[in-house]
Amino acid sequence: MKILVTGGAGFIGSNFVHHLVRETQDDVVVLDALTYAANRDSLLGLPESRVTFVEGDICDRRLVDDLVASSDAVVHFAAESHNDNSLAEPDRFVTTNVLGTFTLLEAVRRHGTRFHHVSTDEVYGDLALDDPERFSESTPYNPSSPYSATKASSDLLVRAWTRSFDLDATISNCSNNYGPFQHVEKFIPRQITNILVGDRPVLYGDGRNVRDWIHAEDHSSAVLAVLRRGRRGETYLIGADGEASNLEVLRKILVIMGRDASDFDLVRDRPGHDRRYAIDSTKIREELGWRPAHVDFDEGLAATISWYRENGQWWQPLKAATEARYRDQQA
């Protein structure tokens, strides 16, 4: 098979391309606009005979049509992905996440191509800290931020196109990913690299917000399972039972890195900050037999810290501009 991976130079997309090359015989075409969030170096070492890189925008109808016409399947990761940026500059979230997904849907409709849409648990809004429920495939949509509203919009487009035009499409909604190649704007890499450059880690609000962590490698294996064996028109939630408060995660990072567990600052909270995400992944486990492999979060976190220690050349060029953007957003 020839698989078109949009956003393949980003965090999860690049992890997925490495996973595909390792685990399958498929050829891969990466379509990526190389925004600030992309890093070509995340794709280093992949065989040129199997992986082709195309720089381009998912809103470019002609380019998208040409690439879809020559692919057997599309796995769609490309998006503006950061909540803080969506509060500061929502425009490109609407353009890429909504119009970009629309452009891909029209192309797969014309060519009858298999389509998998990668989405987020944030489309469901948030849960109270003491809510016994977790998100499931039947939880009503209730997005809070411009980012999650545009991802919810893209999911709804996929659902409508699938029903109206009988597309061979699936959707997955995953919880918070961590692992190598994640941009230093995101919570875990930001704190690790703050410590590495001698700055203090920063926790939003009271630090009690909960995220449900999954290793990007497990997200990749789940997406591949849905691509291969998912039922047409279905949605699958992906999670690894990794709930932890931001404060707990930060304390683990500090301890692993040999710092005092109280060596951080509390800063102004993110407006509209979702309190808690939690995924019930029974459906994908029972229907597709998928299981996460990285079930020991402390081990995965330690390996991720080692990766950032050893790959300074990958993240150091991004750090100053990222922190400058945060200073502007906090001003």
- Which residues contribute to the site for ligand NAD (CB under 6 A)? 6-7, 9-13, 32-35, 37-38, 57-59, 77-81, 96, 100, 118, 120, 151, 174, 176-177, 183
Residue 267 CB, nearest approach to ligand DAU (Å):
7
Q: Which does 12 bind (CB under 5 to 8 A by kind): ligand NAD, ligand DAU, none?
A: ligand NAD
Return all residues near 23 (Cβ < 8 A) that are at least 6 apart. Answer: 221, 224
121 is annotated as an active-site residue = yes
In the bound state, the residue with its beta carbon closest to ligand NAD is 10
Which of 57, 122, 218, 323 is flagged as catalytic? 122
* Residue 262 or 270 with smaller CB distance to ligand NAD: 270
Site for ligand DAU in 160-189 (CB under 6 A): 175-176, 186-187
Strands 51-55 and 169-174: unpaired
Minimal distance, residue 198 CB to ligand NAD, in Å: 25
Q: Quote the CA–CA distance of 109 and 33 in Å, as a whole number.
A: 22
Q: Is 202 in the site for ligand DAU (CB under 6 A)?
A: yes
Yes or no: say if 247 and 203 are a contact pair by the CB < 8 Å rule. Answer: yes
Residue 252 interacting with ligand DAU (CB under 6 A): no
The residue among 227, 189, 223, 209 whose CA lies nearest residue 292 is 223
Pick what 209 binds: ligand NAD, ligand DAU, none; C-beta below 5 to 8 Å, kind-dependent.
ligand DAU
Quote helix, strand, coil % in the chain, to nearest 5: 45, 15, 35
Q: What are phi and psi of 34, to 5 degrees?
A: 50, 55
The contacts found for 90-97 with CB under 8 angstroms, 24 or more apart, are: 90/146, 90/150, 93/146, 93/147, 93/150, 94/146, 94/150, 95/59, 96/33, 96/58, 96/59, 97/147, 97/150, 97/151, 97/153, 97/154
Compute the least distance from the CB of residue 229 to ligand DAU, in Å.
Answer: 23
**Binding string, 64-83, against ligand DAU, x = CB under 6 A?**
-----------------xxx
Q: Based on CB atoms, which residue is closest to ligand DAU, 186 or 215?
A: 186
> Which partner in ligand DAU, ligand NAD, none is near 78 (CB below 5 to 8 A by kind)?
ligand NAD
Q: Which is nearer to ligand NAD, 259 or 270 (CB)?
A: 270
Q: Which is nearer to ligand DAU, 21 or 80 (CB)?
A: 80
Q: Examine residue 139 and tell whether it contacts ligand DAU (CB under 6 A).
A: no
Q: What is the 3-state secondary structure (H, E, C) of 17-46?
A: HHHHHHHCCCEEEEEECCCCCCCHHHHCCC
Contact, 101 vs 158, CB < 8 A?
A: yes
Establish whether 218 is a catalytic residue: no
Burial class (CB in 10 A: 0-12, 13-18, 19+), 329: middle
Which residues of this protein are in contact with ligand DAU, per CB under 6 A? 81-83, 120-122, 175-176, 186-187, 190, 202-204, 209, 211, 246, 270, 277
